[in-house]
C-alpha cells in the first residue's frame, strides 16, 4: 500500500474522521485477526458476522484506525465513518492505484476474467511476471467487490505489475471492479455456464465478461481466446491491440494471426500436458508488410489437465508481450507445480487403513470444469501396465438455472462414457441431495443405454473397460467411507474431488491432506 495519513484516507472515501495525532496507514484488512501495527481495519456488516463487533479486537492487534458505518463506543482508536464500508473500500483502493500511477516508474494492470480458469491463469501469470518485476496478485480467488480492492491495496511504490482477477455474478459487476483497477491489458478466457441461474442466459454471461474489454484504458491490449466464438466477438470492443491465443486451426478474423498457440498436445500418465508452444509477432519493418515472425518451444506444464493448456497460453501471451522470452516462459510453466488450493492438487493419501492418489479439484464446479476434471481422471495412468481404479467424487453444481437437472445428469453420463470405475455423487441438504441424485440417475441411464445398444457386452464392460458403478452419498463422511472401501479393494485407486463449495468437498480434501495422512506429493 502507498502510505497514507488518516486524513488522506478520510478525504478519498468522503468519510468523517475522528482521529488524534498523525498516524500513517500502511496496510488494510477486513479480518481483525490479521490487523497489525499501521493497519486500517474495515468493518463490513455481514449476514452472520458484523465487522463492527471486532473493532476493539483490531485495536488490540495494533490497528491505528477503523473504517466504519457507525461510531463504535469504548474503542481507543481513530474511526472514519462512511455510509457504506464496502464502497468506501473500493474508493480507497482506486485512490491507491491512482497514487501508484502518478509515479514515473512503469506500472501495468492485467485484468483476467472467464467462466473458468481465472485463478489458474492468475497464478501462472504471477509466476511469469515475477521474472520481470515486482508483481502483486490476489490470494486464492479474491475477485469480487471485497477481494479485488484488498488486493489493489497491496500495490505499493515498487509494484511493476498487478494481476487483477475479476469475477461476475451479474451484469455490471466487472464494470465496478474495473472502475477500481482500470486494466492496461485484459484477458477474456472463456464464456461458460457458471452462474447461469443468476444471469439468465449465456449471452448475458458474455455481456458481463465483455465489460473487462470495454473498460480497458485507451489503447489497452485485449487478450482473446480464438477458440470461443463469444470471446472472439469481444474484439469489437477492443480499444487497441489484440493478442489471440488458442489451438492451431482456430478461426480468426481477417488480417489477424495467432499470437500464442499450441500444437501436438498430449499428456503423460499423471495428466501433465506437453505441447509445442508457438509465439507469433509482427515482423520487423524491414520485412514485407503484414508478415509475422514465429518462434517455438516445447513446454511441459507442471500442473495437471489439458484444459490448463489454454490458461497457460493466455498467461504466456501477456508475459511474452511484456518481454519474457519463450525459453523463460517454458521454464516457469514447467516448474509451476502448485497453484491456489483445491485446484488439480495431487497427493498420496492414507484414510481408514487404505491409501490412494487424490486429485483435489474441489474449489468449485460448473459443467465446463467438471468435464475437464473427469477427462483428466479418465486419462490418468492410461499407458500404465496396471490400470488405475478411477473414482469420481462429484458434488452439485449450483446456480445453473432451469436446466440444472439435465446438466447434472450429463455429468453422470460423462463418467460412464469415459469408463470411470466408480462414481460417488455427494449431497448434504435437500437441494444438494436432489442434484446429486440427478448425477447418479444420469450415470445409471447411460449404463442402461450402453447395454441396450450392445446386448452382448460382458458384465465387465466393452473392450476391457469396466461398467461404471454409481452411488449416492448423503454426507462427506459417507463418501469418505465409500472411498476407503473402494481403495482397500483396489490397490491402485485414484480419486477425483470436484463440486461446488457448498458440497463440502474441500473440507474432505483438507481432512485427507492433513500432514499425518499425506504419504507423498
d(CA 213, CA 242): 10
d(CA 183, CA 217): 6
d(CA 20, CA 374): 59
278: cell is 508457438
d(CA 464, CA 486): 19
Question: Can you list the domains of the chain with their CATH numbers?
Answer: 4-83 (3.40.1390.10), 103-335 (3.40.1190.10), 345-520 (3.90.190.20)
Residue pair 16/81 in contact (Cβ under 8 Å)? The answer is yes
| Residue 120 marked ligand-binding | yes
Tell me the DSSP string of 441-473: HHHHHHHHHHHHH-TT--TT-GGGPPPPEEEEE
Q: Which residues, listed in sequence order, are joined to residue 261 by a DSSP beta bridge?
A: 246, 278
Q: What is the pLDDT along the chain (521 residues), one digit of tens a residue?
A: 999 999 999 999 999 998 766 889 999 999 999 999 999 999 999 888 999 999 999 999 999 999 999 999 988 899 999 999 999 999 999 999 999 999 999 999 999 999 888 989 999 999 999 999 999 998 877 889 999 999 999 999 999 999 999 998 899 999 999 999 999 999 999 997 665 666 668 889 999 999 999 999 999 999 999 999 999 999 999 999 999 999 876 778 877 889 999 999 998 877 789 999 999 987 544 455 557 789 999 999 998 888 899 999 999 999 999 999 999 999 999 998 777 777 778 888 887 777 899 988 888 788 888 998 898 898 888 767 788 999 999 999 888 888 899 999 999 999 999 999 999 999 989 999 999 999 999 999 999 988 877 665 554 444 445 678 999 999 999 999 999 999 999 989 999 999 888 888 989 988 888 754 544 43
Q: Identify how many contiguous H helices and E strands the chain contains and give both numbers.
A: 16, 23
Q: Which long-range contacts (CB under 8 A, 24 or more apart) does 137-140 make?
A: 137/162, 137/163, 138/163, 138/164, 138/165, 139/340, 140/340, 140/341
d(CA 31, CA 448): 52
pLDDT in tens, 68-111: 999 999 888 999 999 999 999 999 999 999 999 999 999 999 99
d(CA 352, CA 483): 9
Cα distance between the two ends of the chain? 36
| Residue 81 marked ligand-binding | no
186: cell is 485484459
Q: What are the C-alpha distances in Å from 224 to residues 209, 232, 278?
A: 11, 6, 16
Strands of 389-395's sheet, edge to edge? Answer: 469-473, 422-426, 389-395, 493-498, 354-360, 345-351, 518-520
56: cell is 476493539
| Residue 119 marked ligand-binding | yes
Closest CA relative to residue 274, chosen from 360, 333, 326, 342: 333
| Residue 371 marked ligand-binding | no
**Residue 231 DSSP class:** H
| Residue 116 marked ligand-binding | yes
Residue 348 burial (10 A CB sphere; 0-12, 13-18, 19+): middle
Amino acid at each position: 500500500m502507498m502510505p497514507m495519513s488518516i486524513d488522506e484516507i478520510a478525504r478519498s472515501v468522503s468519510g468523517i474522521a475522528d482521529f488524534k495525532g498523525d498516524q500513517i496507514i500502511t496496510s488494510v484488512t477486513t479480518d481483525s485477526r490479521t490487523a497489525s501495527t499501521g493497519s486500517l481495519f474495515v468493518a463490513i456488516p455481514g449476514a452472520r458476522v458484523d465487522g463492527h463487533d471486532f473493532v476493539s479486537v483490531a485495536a488490540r492487534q495494533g490497528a491505528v484506525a477503523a473504517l466504519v458505518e457507525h461510531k463504535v463506543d469504548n474503542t481507543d482508536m481513530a474511526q472514519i465513518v462512511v455510509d457504506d464500508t464496502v464502497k468506501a473500500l473500493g474508493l480507497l483502493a482506486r485512490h491507491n492505484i491512482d497514487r501508484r500511477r502518478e509515479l514515473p516508474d512503469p506500472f501495468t494492470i492485467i485484468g483476467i476474467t472467464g467462466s473458468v480458469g481465472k485463478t489458474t491463469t492468475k497464478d501462472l501469470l504471477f509466476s511469469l511476471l515475477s521474472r520481470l518485476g515486482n508483481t502483486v496478485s490476489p490470494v486464492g480467488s479474491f475477485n469480487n467487490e471485497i477481494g479485488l480492492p484488498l488486493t489493489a491495496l497491496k500495490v505499493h511504490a515498487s509494484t511493476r505489475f498487478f494481476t487483477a482477477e475479476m469475477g461476475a455474478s451479474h451484469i455490471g459487476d466487472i464494470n465496478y471492479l474495473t472502475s477500481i483497477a482500470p486494466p492496461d491489458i485484459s484477458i477474456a478466457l472463456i464464456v461458460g455456464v457458471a452462474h447461469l441461474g443468476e444471469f439468465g442466459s449465456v449471452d448475458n454471461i458474455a455481456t458481463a465478461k465483455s465489460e473487462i474489454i470495454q473498460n480497458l484504458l485507451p489503447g489497452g491490449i485485449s487478450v482473446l481466446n480464438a477458440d470461443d466464438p463469444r470471446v472472439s466477438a469481444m474484439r469489437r470492443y477492443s480499444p487497441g491491440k489484440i493478442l489471440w491465443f488458442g489451438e492451431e486451426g482456430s478461426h480468426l478474423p481477417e488480417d489477424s494471426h495467432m499470437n500464442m498457440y499450441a500444437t501436438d498436445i498430449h499428456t503423460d500418465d499423471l495428466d501433465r500436458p506437453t505441447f509445442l508452444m508457438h509465439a507469433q509477432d509482427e515482423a520487423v519493418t524491414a520485412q514485407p508488410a503484414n508478415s509475422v515472425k514465429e518462434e517455438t518451444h516445447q513446454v511441459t506444464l507442471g500442473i495437471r489437465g489439458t484444459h490448463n493448456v489454454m490458461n497457460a497460453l493466455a498467461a504466456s501471451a501477456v508475459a511474452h508481450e511484456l518481454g519474457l522470452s519463450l525459453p523463460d516462459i517454458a521454464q516457469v510453466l514447467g516448474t509451476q507445480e502448485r497453484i491456489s488450493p483445491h485446484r488439480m492438487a495431487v497427493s498420496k493419501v492414507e484414510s481408514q487403513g487404505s491409501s490412494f492418489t487424490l486429485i483435489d479439484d474441489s474449489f468449485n464446479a460448473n459443467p465446463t470444469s467438471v468435464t475437464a476434471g473427469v477427462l483428466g481422471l479418465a486419462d490418468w495412468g492410461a499407458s500404465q501396465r496396471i490400470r488405475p481404479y478411477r473414482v469420481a467424487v462429484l458434488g452439485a453444481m449450483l446456480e445453473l438455472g432451469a436446466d440444472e437437472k439435465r446438466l447434472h445428469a450429463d455429468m453422470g453420463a460423462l463418467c460412464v462414457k469415459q469408463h470411470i470405475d466408480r462414481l460417488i455423487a455427494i449431497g448434504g441438504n435437500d437441494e444438494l441431495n436432489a442434484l446429486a441424485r440427478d448425477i447418479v440417475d444420469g450415470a445409471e441411464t447411460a449404463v442402461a443405454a450402453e447395454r441396450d445398444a450392445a446386448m452382448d457386452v460382458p458384465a465387465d464392460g466393452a473392450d476391457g473397460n469396466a461398467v461404471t458403478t454409481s452411488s449416492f452419498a448423503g454426507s462427506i463422511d459417507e463418501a469418505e467411507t465409500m472411498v476407503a472401501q473402494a481403495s482397500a479393494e483396489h490397490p491402485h485407486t485414484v480419486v477425483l474431488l470436484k463440486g461446488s463449495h457448498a458440497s463440502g468437498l474441500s473440507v474432505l480434501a483438507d481432512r485427507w491432506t492433513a500432514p499425518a495422512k499425506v504419504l507423498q506429493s
